[in-house]
Amino acid sequence: LSPDCSFTCHYRCRALVRLDCSGPPGAGDEDDGNEQVLEKDTNVDEPSEWEKTELDQAQVEQRIKEYNSQINSNLFMSLNKDGSYAGFIKVQLKLVRPVAVPATNRVPSLQAGRPHPQGVKRRTSFYLPKGTVKHLHILSHTRASEVIDALLRKFTVIDNPRKFALFERSEKDEQVYLRKLADDEQPLRLRLLAGPSEKVLSFILKENETGEVNWDAFTLPELHNFLLILQREEEEHLRRLRHRYACCRQKMQEAL
């Protein structure tokens, strides 16, 4: 908490915040590679209007033509015969903790006459370089959880995929908004609806916070927001559960 402007931030974000409360507005705005705008978690907000948009086949074809005409590279989207479409998304990896990868070293035998032809499998950990970016070629029905799996395979990361989450990032009115994608959301569909602009929409892979939290350290407004987040996650989980059982019930009825 700053005594000059009463600015409050999360304790893990404190080192990333640069404030000069005594200076004039706009001071210290030089871009040094760090975010100069405050990132706001919008898990409690409704999705944007374009995120709710449903497109028919003709609209999808038109959107793909518009998208391909706006990009400055050869990472085009293409429409498949079955009505699905394929394209590229760019994901930035912003991981603050090390990841585990397999390491196989051949260990010489310590006893004569007992060679060990097989390598000894071990794990090693390292930090991914800051600003690591990866392009993935995916389909329109590829889910966010599958994108996470693909990224981990690309970097041979053997950590549990549930340790990570895919976020969408957008900029509006000099404010950066982050929203955690549900497992079954389709990133390429969001990319098509948003267009190619990285400011309108970009994707980030971050850690999925699962550790113990000291709730007493938060203010009442923050705790109310967390309750709203829990409610939305619970509703989403129940929706997926009901959908699964409804599909199972329908198959049984068809069999009858």
Residue 24: which pLDDT band, with cuts at 50, 70 and 90?
A: very low
Residue tagged 């995929």 (tokens): 161
- 203-212 pLDDT, tens digit per residue, is 999 988 755 5
pLDDT higher than threshold 80 for residue 120: no
Arithmetic mean of pLDDT, 73-85:
91
- Our CA dihedral for 15, 21, 24, 28, rounded to 10 degrees, sits at -10
pLDDT higher than threshold 60 for residue 186: yes
CATH number of this structure's domain 38-102+121-212: 3.10.20.90
Cα distances (angstroms) measured from residue 119 to each of 112, 122, 183: 17, 9, 36
What is the percent of the chain with per-residue pLDDT over 70, rounded to a whole number? 69
Arithmetic mean of pLDDT, 223-235:
84
The one-letter code for the residue type at 31 is D
Arithmetic mean of pLDDT, 119-141:
81
pLDDT at 242: 94
> SS3 sequence, the chain?
CCCCCCCCCCHHHHHHCCCCCCCCCCCCCCCCCCCCCCEEECCCCCCCHHHHCCCCHHHHHHHHHHHHHHCCCCCCCEECCCCCEEEEEEEEECCCCCEEEEEEECCCCCCCCCCCCCCEEEEEEECCCCCEEEEEEEECCCCHHHHHHHHHHHCCCCCCHHHEEEEEEEEECCEEEEEECCCCCCHHHHHHHHCCCCCCCEEEEEECCCCCCCHHHCCHHHHHHHHHHHHHHHHHHHHHHHHHHHHHHHHHHHHC
pLDDT at 228: 85
For residues 248 and 256, what is the distance between their CA atoms, to the nearest angstrom?
13
Q: What is the mean pLDDT of the chain?
A: 77
- Our CA dihedral for 212, 216, 217, 220, rounded to 10 degrees, sits at 120
Q: How open is the CA angle 89-147-126, to the nearest 5 degrees? A: 100
203: tokens are: 């994707």
Q: Which residue has the higher pLDDT, 190 or 175?
A: 190
Is the Cβ–Cβ distance between 133 and 90 less than 8 Å? yes
pLDDT higher than threshold 70 for residue 100: yes
Arithmetic mean of pLDDT, 185-201:
92
- Our CA dihedral for 237, 243, 244, 249, rounded to 10 degrees, sits at 150
Give residue limits of the domains in the chain.
38-102+121-212, 216-255
pLDDT higher than threshold 70 for residue 32: no
pLDDT higher than threshold 80 for residue 5: no
Is the Cβ–Cβ distance between 164 and 144 less than 8 Å? no
pLDDT at 212: 58
157: tokens are: 């990361």
Residue 127: which pLDDT band, with cuts at 50, 70 and 90?
A: confident
Is the Cβ–Cβ distance between 89 and 191 less than 8 Å? yes
